[in-house]
Structure 1
Amino acid sequence: MVNKWLLFALLFTLIVGRISCESVVKGRVTAYGWCDNDPPYRGDTSSGHQATPGDGTFSNPSTCATDQSRIPAGTKVYISHVQKYCIVRDICGACKRDPRRLVDLWIGPNPMKRENCSFLRYCEERVDNLYVDVYLDAADGHTVNRNPLFDGTRCNF
């Protein structure tokens, strides 16, 4: 006979393991890319990773930057209005100066032609200045738009 406490502990572990600790906050989301990264024209991040737009899914998140004293490196974030997951791998200086600004989303691409920077800035402006729901420690299962927000010449948002 199976020990009922052992069975209970196993079921409890399975159930609790699926419960997310995500929290939802409202804040400003901005975007950055190849042309306005620091240092410019490189996809390096402060954590030593290469910035990537990923496909925005839970398993292949984009790179994002934050004030890491508020949202630490490695935090998985879901941004509702663009329907993308990102993982904090970079530092956002503007987020430190403006507490309403939560996340700066890398929209890439890596690398890009300098003459296309005006297209990138246009796309960044379409993402910027929106106060939206931002999910911290995001759980899997949110709706995802797999299309790139910026494909090198066109904004898909």
Structure 2
Amino acid sequence: MQFKIAAEDQPGVGHLNNFRSSEMYLIEAEAEYFLNNLTAAQNALNALTRDTGRDPEYNCGKTGDELLAEIKKYRSIELWGEGFEWFDLKRWGDTIERHTYEDGGNFITVLAVTINPNDNNKWTWRIPLKETDYNHAIGSNANLESEE
């Protein structure tokens, strides 16, 4: 459990932000990068990091793969614990790398694994068969009903 966002009652209860301005800057930076507007992507990172006082000396001058790596790094720092990482990795097609304590990570040996998106159906969540068997609105039963 993380306690990044304060709760006023039991853990998990409280005022949760749905969107934060930092998320918007990071979305803008990524979008501009993929639109090949590198200066706009750099400016979004500068607005997030330098102009907010997080790091007054920061000035993003990276381009190409280094710029995307910078966007990814700042997404992981800024959005830690908010449920974005899995979707980011899925969108980018990146690999999950879990390292042991000895290798500088925070996983016990049995959980220190590397998972490639293609190893698991590109991380597509599957609906359990019993759900499609008993819910006529989804799955193969929906097709059968429409044919009748």
Structure with bigger gyration radius: 2
Greater strand fraction, Structure 1 or Structure 2 = 1
TM above 0.5, yes or no, is no
Task: Sort the TM-score into its range (normalised by shorter chain).
Answer: under 0.3
| TM-score relative to the length of structure 2 | 0.22
Give the structure-1-normalised TM-score. 0.21
> Larger RCO: Structure 1 or Structure 2 (Cα < 8 Å, ≥ 6 residues apart)?
1
